[in-house]
Structure 1
Amino acid sequence: MTSMLHSMAMYFHFGSKESILFSFWNTESALGIFGSCLIIFIFCLCLEFTRLFRVYRKKKLFNRQDGNLSTTDSTIGFSTMRRPNLGNLFDMFLHAIQLTLSYMLMLIFMTFNIWLCVSVVLGEVLARMILSLFFPTMDLFVTFFGASVEPCCG
């Protein structure tokens, strides 16, 4: 029986030797950490784009259905529930991607490597900024009803 004992620092640290998410994603040098930070930035871009696309789809759906709503439709009950359609399934798929990327970024942060932690934070901030420059009319924080579309963890 082989032992898989390797120490993981449970405190914030600088360093270049890290195992990140998978057994094959190991860094041994500063160049490896830098490359990993670039990959993390791409993860952040994908996460923010997925969020933006979900908000865009919800706004588009809301605007399309806005004219069809009447005052009697304001209460939602079992009689108004519908089967999931292709759009709902696609939204569930996007939500699964968003959750997966969010938790992967959380696990990367939990390596407690300062370089990786900073790349997660800066990656999220820069990705949000870049996407808001390209899509200035999209509101990333609030849906049409004033509720947040962002869950607590991503």
Structure 2
Amino acid sequence: MDHSNMDHSNMDHSNMDHSNMDHGSMMGAESGSHGDHLGMMMQMSFYFGYTDVVVLFDGWVINDIGSLVGSMVGICIIAALYEGLKVFREHLLRKSMVTVSYHSVAVPGPENLPVVETQKTTGSRILSSAHLIQTLLHVLQIVVSYFLMLVFMTYNVWLCIAVAIGAGIGYFSFGWKRAIVIDINEHCH
């Protein structure tokens, strides 16, 4: 029986007894996907807490100061290595572009005497090991940058500070080696 065209606006269920209804098996948008964290809502403003903080995965939960400090150190290291990865990719790109081949060509010179001229050619190919490595490192860079963004989006101030300090340490450690200071490949961090 099709009830889609029926008007249900006048139905009143306020007099019904709802005390015996079991809503425990119902899966809403806020439950079912967080394992032990059923019904837990995502924080939408910055906070300084250190209990029940889920970081990236259900298995990575901060419940005490020790796990907070350990998570901060780990996140700081990941953010620093992310900065190193960007510099390493640039270094590999410069190194692959330095591969120069020389060709000697005889060209007519003054009085039609052949003159040997050396031409230098550089180039990159789509099917090269250097390009494949750059592609894999680019994918890794994107994944790590989105992970760091998601850590920041926990809105936990301590974790946000860890991302910022790690990025600062990484830039201080590796950034001085960069030939290009402005990174147009920056995605979300």
CA pair 120-140 structure 1, distance change in 2 beyond 3 A: farther
Give 5+ residue unaligned stretches, structure 1. 74-80, 143-147
Instruction: Determine helix, strand or coil for the equivalent of 2:161.
Output: helix
RMSD (Å) for aligned C-alpha atoms: 2.3
Quote the Cα distance in structure 1 between the aligned partners of 2:134 and 2:73: 28
Q: Classify the secondary structure of the residue corresponding to 1:68.
A: strand
Name the counterpart of 1:58: 93
Instruction: Kindly indicate whether the alpha-carbon contact (under 8 Å) linking 1:141 and 1:149 is maintained by their aligned counterparts in 2.
Output: no
Q: Is 2:80–2:170's contact at 8 Å kept on the other side of the alignment?
A: yes
TM-score using structure 2 length: 0.64
In terms of fraction of residues, the more helix-rich structure is: 1
1:76 alignment counterpart: none
Residues 1:84 and 2:137 aligned together: no
User: 1:108-154 deviations in whole A, cap 9, x for unaligned?
Assistant: 0000000000111111011110224xxx4432525xxxxx3432424
Superposed displacement of residue 9, structure 1: 1.2
Paired amino acid for 1:131: F
Q: Is the 8 A contact 1:47 1:102 kept in 2?
A: yes
Cα distance in 2, alignment partners of residues 44 and 140 from structure 1: 19
- Residue 130 (structure 1) aligned with residue 173 (structure 2): yes
Superposed counterparts of 1:108-123, under 5 Å = 108-123=151-166
| Alignment match, 2:147 | 104
Aligned length: 136
Answer 1 or 2: which has greater strand percent: 2
* Higher relative contact order, chain-length normalized (CA < 8 Å, sep 6+): 1
Q: Is the 8 A contact 2:125 2:131 kept in 1?
A: no
Tell me, in whole angstroms, the C-alpha distance in 2 between the residues paired with 1:140 and 1:153. 18
TM-superposed deviation, 1:8: 1.8
TM-score (norm. length: structure 1)? 0.78
CA distance in 1, matches of 2:57, 2:178: 35
Partners of 1:127 and 1:103 lie apart in 2 by 17
Which of 43, 46, 50 lines up with 1:9 in the alignment? 43
Whose Rg is larger?
2
